[in-house]
Chains A and B, each alone.
Chain A
């Protein structure tokens, strides 16, 4: 029985880790992050880069491995990083620690990506994520700890990937791990029981936090609906965000459909408003740039139009 205060395991660059059971050797490159439940390192095995999670608390490793194994059963688009190895290693000739190895996702967290590439990326990213969430939910799991830091945009494929499965919870149980600002319980908008609406609430807050007017981490603000009104750059998405915050989307698919509808409506309007601009503009992504700073004006006009109706 351990009552360890800190589950982190310190490893140094070039340190080698040899698995006791599967005998594979990993070479540590650098620390990727340290959480409440362990540390993640970038490591190499042969020429291949991998992410290695190690913890003093072997039950953390066992629990996350169980989740990653369950997610592996889905065909097609991967949900979460692929699990590559599970083992124990003796560190510094003394302590034995459990670790697991997964695919390294060379990506940029959602917040950084949006900041450098523009809010319009929220459309393709949301579609991808909500598709993944839908699959996850259909498997009987809820992601739980959904937040911008756990959404990485792969630099190569430019597609969204979910990392950190520490919060993944079987549907109907109590959410295992969450982050205050993305938890509907904190905002008094619902309980902490794992159901699709829990993730969709968290994703709505993720979207909100992409608006530069929103400081989600400020303590004391308690009304998320009021807060949403300040997210003026996200105006076209407000109706979707409200619905998700209120738990009115029963499935990720419904939310995805609504977001796509907003996107195509915006695209249509933009087409009508600036036919010239459209001609010489060739966006590589199939999603038109709609809520970039340049088009804010047109969005306001559209909204005005809708309200008059």
Chain B
């Protein structure tokens, strides 16, 4: 049984985009490439309700086949884990349910299976979740209002890498910020699986004023082609998990 690769973008932001392309459209385009877009909206400590701008957070994730959460900075760490894990499970479930339909006929949904069978399916999903290769591109909004939340973001990413390292499967992650001086996005850390490199990245973060979320998403997605030591990126293929897995089911 060979598990394939799961690709995700994790966008950490605190507000709505105010420049350039429509992030929801871009997100949908990205998801068609087999990359899920997860979004975490970070609230200010004194914000008691979700500001209107943050509803975009949910829309981007929905269009991007991903998961979204709107949280305070102090629970950022757990949220990053949950969001990534859930999105990964969702992708695998999507794949497994496609397989199920082939086995049990068109009408079968996982929910229609008896609990016993569902337990078996869950086991397969978990095995895959533990062993697939995972590529996560972290895109951090560094606009002015995010400035005082950076410590929390850094801790959360640190903690997230710790969880990635505990998995059996391989992982790669990279970190981008937006906006940056004279450019929309800036690569802070190229693809790596070295956990110690995060610490060196963060002092470099500087905040800017505008929030070109859509344009930033559009630019970073290209870097999935640069993940080291992987088979050639195939533009036309949107297989997320190696389909050879199906034959051994």
A residues touching B (Cβ–Cβ < 8 Å)?
1-3, 5, 21, 36, 58-59, 62-63, 65-66, 69, 86-88, 96, 98, 172-175, 180, 185-186, 191-194, 219
Given A3-B61, A21-B115, A96-B111, A192:B78 Cβ within 8 A: no
- The residue of chain A having its C-beta at the shortest distance from the C-beta of B70 within the complex is A5
Q: Would B111 and A5 count as touching, CB distance under 8 A?
A: no
Task: With both chains docked as a complex, state the minimum distance between the C-beta of B98 and any C-beta of chain A, in angstroms.
Answer: 11
Give the secondary structure class of B's interface: helix
Q: Which of A36, A175, A180, A219 lies at the interface centre, i.e. has the most chain B CB atoms within 10 A of its CB? A: A180
Task: With both chains docked as a complex, state the minimum distance between the C-beta of A106 and any C-beta of chain B, in angstroms.
Answer: 27
Contacts A/B (CB < 8 Å), 13 sampled:
A3-B68, A3-B90, A21-B114, A58-B111, A63-B122, A86-B115, A86-B119, A87-B115, A172-B168, A173-B168, A175-B166, A191-B165, A193-B166
Q: Would A3 and B62 count as touching, CB distance under 8 A?
A: yes
Task: With both chains docked as a complex, state the minimum distance between the C-beta of A213 and any C-beta of chain B, in angstroms.
Answer: 24
**How far is B122's CA from A86's CA once the two chains are assembled, in angstroms?**
14
Q: Which of B16-24, B123-131, B184-192, B232-240 participates in binding chain A?
A: B123-131
| B167 interface residue (CB < 8 Å to A) | yes
Q: Would B166 and A59 count as touching, CB distance under 8 A?
A: no
Task: Select one of A58, A87, A191, A219 contacting B166, CB under 8 A.
Answer: A191
Chain A residues, CB < 8 A from B82: 36
| Residues 49-63 of B contacting A (Cβ, < 8 Å) | 58, 61-62
Q: Would A58 and B167 count as touching, CB distance under 8 A?
A: no
Task: With both chains docked as a complex, state the minimum distance between the C-beta of A178 and any C-beta of chain B, in angstroms.
Answer: 9
Chain B residues, CB < 8 A from A191: 162, 165-166
Q: Would A98 and B115 count as touching, CB distance under 8 A?
A: yes
Q: Would A62 and B118 count as touching, CB distance under 8 A?
A: yes
Q: Would A174 and B90 count as touching, CB distance under 8 A?
A: no
**How far is B156's CA from A6's CA once the two chains are assembled, in angstroms?**
22
**How far is B62's CA from A1's CA once the two chains are assembled, in angstroms?**
11
**How far is B61's CA from A173's CA once the two chains are assembled, in angstroms?**
28
Chain A residues, CB < 8 A from B218: none
Chain A residues, CB < 8 A from B78: 180
Scan B124-168; emit 1 where CB is below 8 A from any A CB, else 0.
Answer: 011000100000000000000000000000000001001101111
**How far is B74's CA from A185's CA once the two chains are assembled, in angstroms?**
17
Chain A residues, CB < 8 A from B193: none
| B33 interface residue (CB < 8 Å to A) | no
| B121 interface residue (CB < 8 Å to A) | yes
Q: Would A3 and B67 count as touching, CB distance under 8 A?
A: yes
**How far is B165's CA from A69's CA once the two chains are assembled, in angstroms?**
29
**How far is B165's CA from A112's CA once the two chains are assembled, in angstroms?**
36
Chain B residues, CB < 8 A from A186: 159
**How far is B162's CA from A139's CA once the two chains are assembled, in angstroms?**
26
Chain A residues, CB < 8 A from B61: 3
**How far is B68's CA from A153's CA once the two chains are assembled, in angstroms?**
37
Task: With both chains docked as a complex, state the minimum distance between the C-beta of A196 and any C-beta of chain B, in angstroms.
Answer: 15
Task: Select one of B115, B123, B159, B163 contacting A174, CB under 8 A.
Answer: B163
Chain B residues, CB < 8 A from A185: 159, 162-163
Chain A residues, CB < 8 A from B58: 5
Given A88-B115, A185-B159, A5:B122 Cβ within 8 A: no
| B5 interface residue (CB < 8 Å to A) | no
In the complex, besides A1-B94, A65-B115, 14 extra interface pairs with C-beta distance below 8 angstroms are A1-B93, A3-B66, A5-B58, A58-B111, A59-B93, A62-B122, A66-B119, A173-B166, A173-B167, A174-B130, A174-B166, A186-B159, A191-B162, A192-B165
**How far is B114's CA from A88's CA once the two chains are assembled, in angstroms?**
9
